[in-house]
């Protein structure tokens, strides 16, 4: 696959469509949405690739948690974003095991909680089962298959600081902002 292919074919329209889906997912944690506007290099799923194109730009440092030369070249061409280490990344992508430990990513500052990372987690499975989610944007409760519970509970304890998570699996995504309360089943 060439780095020149797989990006948005109509950037203005697709960016607006994709951003709306992403914001719906962030506003309603635990809901699963389809997002297939980009076709990134394999093995990255279409939802994760689309999110990268929606959020990365020349002022957004991106960290790839595992070596991915084809993806790095694709991102440089389509988003023009700089690649960075985990400690300075505004946006990070990886599988759960590659992202550990999470405390190496920016968590924000008490006066500037918005200076934290957004982490895109590629999963093998994304379903509406698993730990119980409550908090802003969730009517009653939701359930979402998470790679583990303790890390998300620890992240919530940092609120208003902490990481916002975008969980992806193939063409699907769900969001878990730092304000979400995660409880064991």
Residues 48-63 have a mean pLDDT of 98
The whole-angstrom separation of Cα 131 and Cα 147 is 10
The proportion of the chain whose per-residue pLDDT surpasses 70, expressed as a percent, equals 99
82-106 pLDDT, tens digit per residue, is 999 999 999 999 999 999 999 999 9
Please report which confidence band the pLDDT of residue 148 belongs to, taking 50, 70 and 90 as the band edges. very high
Query: E strands of 38-105, at which residues?
Result: 62-64, 91-95
- What is the sign, positive or negative, of the torsion defined by CA atoms of 156, 157, 163, 169? negative
Q: Parallel, antiparallel, or unpaired for β 181-183 and 132-134?
A: antiparallel
- Residue 73 β-bridge partners: none
User: For 39-71, b where at least 16 C-beta lie within 10 A, e where not — what string?
Assistant: bbbeebbbbbbbbbbbbbeeebbbbbbeebeeb
Q: What is the pLDDT of residue 97?
A: 97
* Residue closest to 117 by CA, chosen among 70, 56, 58: 56
pLDDT at 4 over 90: no
Task: State if pTM tops 0.75.
Answer: yes
* Residue closest to 47 by CA, chosen among 56, 39, 36: 36
Average pLDDT, the chain: 96
Domains and CATH numbers, the chain: 11-183 (3.40.50.11310)
Contact indicator for 126, 176 with CB cutoff of 8 Å: no
């Amino acid at each position: 696959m060439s780095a020149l292919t797989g990006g948005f074919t109509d950037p203005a329209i697709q960016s607006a469509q994709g951003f709306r889906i992403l914001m719906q997912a962030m506003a309603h944690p635990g809901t699963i949405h389809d997002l297939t506007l980009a076709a990134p290099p394999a093995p990255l799923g279409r939802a994760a690739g689309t999110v990268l194109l929606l959020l990365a730009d020349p002022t957004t440092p991106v960290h790839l948690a595992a070596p991915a030369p084809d993806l790095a070249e694709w991102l440089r061409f389509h988003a023009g974003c700089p690649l960075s280490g985990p400690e300075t990344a505004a946006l990070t992508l990886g599988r759960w095991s590659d992202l550990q430990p999470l405390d190496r990513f920016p968590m924000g500052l008490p006066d500037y909680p918005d200076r934290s990372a957004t982490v895109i987690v590629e999963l093998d499975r994304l379903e509406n089962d698993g730990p119980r989610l409550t908090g802003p944007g969730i009517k009653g409760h939701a359930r979402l298959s998470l790679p583990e519970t303790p890390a998300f509970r620890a992240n919530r304890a940092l609120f208003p600081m902490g990481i916002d998570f975008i969980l992806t699996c193939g063409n699907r995504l769900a969001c878990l902002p730092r304000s979400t309360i995660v409880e064991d089943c």
